[in-house]
Structure 1
Amino acid sequence: MKRPSRLQKGDTVYLLNIARKGVYDPDFVTRTFDGWGLKTIIGETISEDSYCQFSANPEVRLRDLQNALDDENVKAVFFMRGGYGTVQILDKIDFSKFSEHPKWLVGFSDITYLHSHINRNFNIETIHGAMLFGFATAGPRDLESMKTLLFDANPTFEFDGLENHKNTNVKGELVGGNLSILHTVIGTPSDIDTNGKILFIEDTYENLMSIERMLYAMKRSGKFDNLKALLVGDFIIPLKDNETSNCMVPEFPEPDEYTIQTAFRLLLLNFFEEYDFPIVFGLPMGHRPDLNVALNLGREVRLDMTADTLRLTYGS
């Protein structure tokens, strides 16, 4: 697996938006990158203009990303937001210069298309983490963890207050991202390889039936057959699913004990009961504005866990 060079003070990073239109706090973002000692290039898709629900039309978004990928002086690319739009340009991107001179790509949600495609086809590490529109509301660990992954060699992160099942210590390459996107790339050139790896998933506003449907598609595609571990980040689930949870989860608790997150955990535990790999619930990564600790995808990691803690150590 190829690893982009660690960032150093004085490096240049590129800011752009290849998906849904949005705004960010330019003063906060500028202070953040200035504080890290980085120079910034503002892409043409970071503007007040928009094209329907997107930051710009597909041609402009493709051009902006291609400029960022081709510029050898750029050491990292930060995306404004997700939503939808990356897949519209994915098959038109020329990754040849990027493959020769890898740089960090930082984002999540719709950017999972890039994480998965690059991991599968080019064996280059990427970073799943907060995007520009969320910098100002990020949690205290979110940006610090991102900076650590970008600048440090072999960091270790510790988490507590988790719910771990079949907990054991494992090693493997970390892959994954947004469950909905991982589901949609099955059978495509961007399909993620999970064989012998550690899979991370998160999602937002998908009900329990949709989540189970996507898990079945991945199961039938063999994604869980030789998995080392499953890391479950934050899932924001619509409350309207209260009406169907007792059908989806027969052992669903009494109404006064009910929460949608309880039903979600029971659903996953029942779904993965036949597998031996450990499952970790409650990792602070996902779509909530203050809950998105960064992950280095494509990197070999060691997981040391107890019933409610996890130490995640990145290998050299």
Structure 2
Amino acid sequence: MKTPPLLHPGDEVILVSPASHPKSDQWKQGVEVLESWGLKVRLAPNALSHYFGFGGSDEERLSDFQLALDDPKIKAIFPIRGGYGSSRILDRLNFEKFLLNPKWIIGFSDITAILNHVAQLEIASIHGPMPHNFCQVGGDEALESLRNLLFEGKIQIDIPSEPENRIGHAEAEIVGGNLSLIVHLIGSQSLPDFKGKILLLEDVGENLYHIDRMVLQLKRAGLLDHLAGLIVGGFSDCKEAGLSVGKNVNQIILEHTAGSQYPIAFEFPSGHIAQNFPLVFGKKIKLLVNADNVQLTD
């Protein structure tokens, strides 16, 4: 697995919209943050385009992302936001120049599709905040963690343990991300092998019976059988619907992982929440889950 070079002041990065278009000017605050880190920020030609709910037509989004992959001057790619649409362009992207000159791709939500596709190419990427939500209230610590990761290669997260956690430790690569997107990738060439990996799951705005159905699909596909560990991030605004399953998210996941032995860390600060800590996909990390705390270190 190749890890892209760390960033340095003066490096050029690019903002793209491979999924939905920006809903507001919040991304401009993200640019200010990146510039405060000493980075030169380029806006892709179609980054602010609108095509229905997308950040431009498929052709426009494809062209921008291909430019970002190919240009050797660009050291990191920041999708402005998620939404929907990344998987529509994945199979038409050419990664030849990217493989020769790897660079960081940072994002979450719909960008889960890109991160997992890149993992198949043996290139590390970052599941973490995007410019659209860099300045979300309460997210300062996660944003500083992203800066430390990009410029110094350091990651160290220490949080209180949850009563439903399963104690244990693992040292492995992280894969996964948004649950809906992971299920969407099943059967495609963009889904990496989960065996021996630490799986991250998070989601937003899904009915609990949808969560049950998707986690059950992971189970039936054998994707929960041979994990090294499981990190359960934020499941924001996921509620019971008219069709009730009688369980919360943690209980659903515990039911469908019953019989396995790997550690499980619930309520991890990752996903559609203010404290969306960055996690490197494709690089071995250490996960320790004990009765008092959960530690994630490189």
TM-score by length of structure 1 reads 0.89
What is the identity, as a one-letter code, of the residue corresponding to 1:87?
S
Q: Verify the 8 A CA contact 2:156 2:296 in the aligned structure 1.
A: yes
CA distance in 1: counterparts of 2:260 and 2:212, whole angstroms: 16
2:18 counterpart residue number: 18
Amino acid at match of 1:265: N
Q: How many residues align?
A: 296
Rounded Cα–Cα distance in structure 1 between residues aligned with 2:152 and 2:221: 36
Shift of 1:156: 2.0
Alignment of 1:50-199 (within 5 A): 50-120=50-120, 122-137=121-136, 139-163=139-163, 165-199=165-199
Identity, % of aligned pairs? 36
Q: Partners in 2 of 1:140 and 1:96 — Cα distance? A: 36
CA apart distance, 1:240: 4.2
8 Å CA contact retained: 1:202, 1:233: yes
RMSD: 1.6
Q: Residue 274 of structure 1 aligns with which residue?
A: 259
Structure 1 pair 299/24, CA: closer, same or farther in 2 (3 Å)?
farther
- Residue 146 of structure 1 aligns to a residue whose secondary structure is helix
Query: Aligned equivalents of 2:88 and 2:243: distance in 1?
Result: 35
For the pair shown, which has the larger CA radius of gyration, 1 or 2?
Answer: 1
1:203 lines up with 2:203 in the alignment: yes
> Within 2, Cα distance between the matches of 1:186 and 1:294?
24
Offset, 1:312: 0.7
Between the aligned partners of 2:157 and 2:122, the Cα distance in structure 1 is: 24
Quickly say closer, same or farther: Cα 1:163–1:97, change in 2 above 3 A: farther
Return the letter of the residue paired with 1:241. Answer: A
Structure 2 SS opposite 1:93: coil
Structure with greater proportional helix content: 1
- For 1:133, give the aligned amino acid: H
- Offset at 1:308? 4.1
Secondary structure class of the residue paired with 2:82:
coil
Does residue 1:214 correspond to 2:214, yes or no?
yes
2:290 and 2:277 mapped to 1: Cα distance?
Answer: 20
Deviation at 1:286, TM superposition (A): 1.3
Give the distance between the partners of 1:163 and 1:130, measured in 2 at CA: 27
Look up the match of 1:298: 282
Structure 2 regions of 5+ residues with no counterpart?
none
For structure 1, the 5+ residue unaligned runs are: 250-262
Q: Distance in 2 between matches of 1:15 and 1:95?
A: 18
The AA in structure 1 aligned to 2:250 is R
**CA spacing shift, 1:275–1:21, aligned 2, 3 Å:** same
* CA displacement at 1:94 relative to structure 2: 0.5
Determine helix, strand or coil for the equivalent of 1:136: coil
Deviation digits for residues 173-216 of structure 1 (CA, Å, limit 9, x no counterpart): 11111111111111111122111111111001112221121122
* Gap change, CA 1:180 and 1:26, over 3 Å in 2: closer
Displacement, 1:24? Answer: 3.4
Aligned 8 A contact 2:208 2:240 in 1: no
CA distance in 2, matches of 1:86, 1:18: 5
Tell me, in whole angstroms, the C-alpha distance in 1 between the residues paired with 2:283 and 2:164: 22
Give the conservation status (yes or no) of the 8 Å contact 1:24–1:132: no
